[in-house]
Amino acid sequence: MSQSNRNSDRSVPSLQQEIILALAAIATVLLGFGLVTDIRTEGPGTLVLFIGFALSTVAGASALRIARERPMGRKLWAGLLGVLMLLFGLGGALLLLVLLFLAFNGGFGVGGRPLRAQGRRLLPELRVGSDWTRGERPDTSGLDRATRSALETLWLQDAQAEHASIPAFARISWLLAATGAPPNLMERAHQAGLEEIDHARRCFALAAGYGERSHSVRPMPDLLRGIVDVAGDPRVTLAVESLRDGCLLEGFGADMAAAAAVECRDPAVRDLLERIALEERSHAAFSWDLLAWALQAGGEPVRAAVAEAAQGLMRIRRPIATSAQTTILVSAADPRRLREHGRLPDTEWVPLWDKRLAETAARVAGLLHAETEEEKREKREKREKREKRGEAARLNEIV
């Protein structure tokens, strides 16, 4: 073999090695950039991370191919590098997908009334912005970086849930209007919506205090479809949703906020928790009144649907304090500080949920029973009237 041919043979793997090193370098820079951005916000962070993982995967596969072509004894380093980069690229991309799913679809936490469309719970996505940030900021002195980061994320989750409650109450108002409901129910639905706006703003303000940056919400085009598509009597929908989302979940939200306020040491956070406890309690009370009205106005179809929903209460999944995503952040935070800033661990949610669930089940059973008693009374009154008419007719015959 000539000298030039030997140089040419060597240049192929050499060129491949340089390309791999270049890809690895670019992937490292992109991953570094992507990791310092926030995947929950609008921006290039997520895309950059995916490109970085993709490049890492390509570089890993190429390194493995080179290792295969090398003679025994020279495979080790190229093979090791290839496997590591391949695992890093594929594993990172998979993890990112899971985190994105959890960040945008999490059903965790409590904070206002859930917003549902076509059986799916909706939450607004986040972006950078300060238009929703209004309220007192917490005192972050003495908090380490990990604890501040966990608190920022947890309060952002609450802000998203509170924000979703606003169109949830708008939807209730829409359905109430569709059924010709009395004005006091309409008024309370709108009052609750206004209070949820305030909750959302204040949660965003707390999160901004912990994270030293503000978040806002992205448009929700999903709200343009399937929100008020109700088949059958809307009073059935209103009654069943009021039981689950208002009486139970907002009632539990009030319980959690009240319990957290007792433990909270930060004045701004405690003020918000007390406010949320009070107002979520009134939202739950509104739902009970709405349910009673729907039972009375809707008759048997509503009663049957509520009885079935009451049977299913125990199957409702308990809201959890942290998602898989926030669990990582929370585990790195100082638990005592979290408690002092209004965040109780999940273990303390369990007894409160059990209590709320039992009380809700007992109260709705009483409501259904009370309705039955009312029907019995009506029947009794009708029977007495018939008997009186019969008695009067007999007296007339005698006379």
Rg (CA), the chain: 30
Displacement of CA 253 from its chain's centroid (Å): 13
- Minimum Å distance from CB 280 to Fe ion? 5
| CB nearer Fe ion, residue 38 or residue 196 | 196
Contact (CB, 8 A) for 228 and 175: yes
In this structure, are residues 346 and 321 in contact, taking their beta carbons and an 8 Å threshold? yes
**By C-beta, is 67 or 159 nearer to Fe ion?**
159
CB atoms within 10 A of CB 111: 29
Q: β-strand 215-217 against 115-117: which pairing, if any?
A: unpaired
Give whichever of 25 and 194 is closer to Fe ion, judged by the CB atom: 194
Query: Which one, 42 or 136, has the nearer CB to Fe ion?
Result: 136
Residue 351 CB, nearest approach to Fe ion (Å): 22
Q: How far is the CB of 254 from Fe ion (least distance, A)?
A: 8
For Fe ion, the closer of residues 188 and 337 by Cβ is 188
Residue 170, Cβ neighbours under 10 Å: how many?
Answer: 18
Q: By Cβ distance, which residue is nearest to Fe ion?
A: 112
User: Closest approach of Cβ 283 to Fe ion, in Å?
Assistant: 4
127 phi/psi in degrees, rounded to 5: -145, 170
For Fe ion, the closer of residues 38 and 250 by Cβ is 250
Residues 384, 354 contacting (CB under 8 angstroms): no
Q: Give the DSSP per-residue string, 152-192.
A: HHHHHHHHHHHHHHHHHHHHHHHHHHHHT--HHHHHHHHHH
CB of 166 to Fe ion, least distance (A): 9
What is the nearest approach in angstroms of Fe ion to the Cβ of residue 18?
A: 57
The residue (of 96 and 278) whose beta carbon lies closer to Fe ion is 278
Helix axes 234-241, 145-179, angle to 10 degrees: 150
**Closer residue to Fe ion (CB): 220 or 368:** 220
- Footprint of Fe ion (CB under 5 A): 112-113, 162, 196, 199, 250, 280, 283
Nearest approach, Cβ of 246 to Fe ion (angstroms)? 8
* 107's tokens: 């059903």
CB of 193 vs Fe ion, minimal distance in Å: 9
DSSP-assigned letters across all residues of 7-57: HHHHHHHHHHHHHHHHHHHHHHHHHHHHHTS-TTSSSSHHHHHHHHHHHHH
CB of 179 to Fe ion, least distance (A): 21
Q: Which is nearer to Fe ion, 60 or 124 (CB)?
A: 124
State the minimum distance, in angstroms, from the CB of residue 113 to Fe ion: 5
Distances (CA, A) of 113 to 40, 148, 250, 256, 355: 22, 27, 6, 14, 19
b/e per residue 86-109 (b: at least 16 CB within 10 A): bebbbebbeebeebbebbeebebb
Of residues 308, 74, 276, the one with CA closest to residue 161: 276
CA torsion 143→345→95→130, rounded to 10°?
Answer: -50
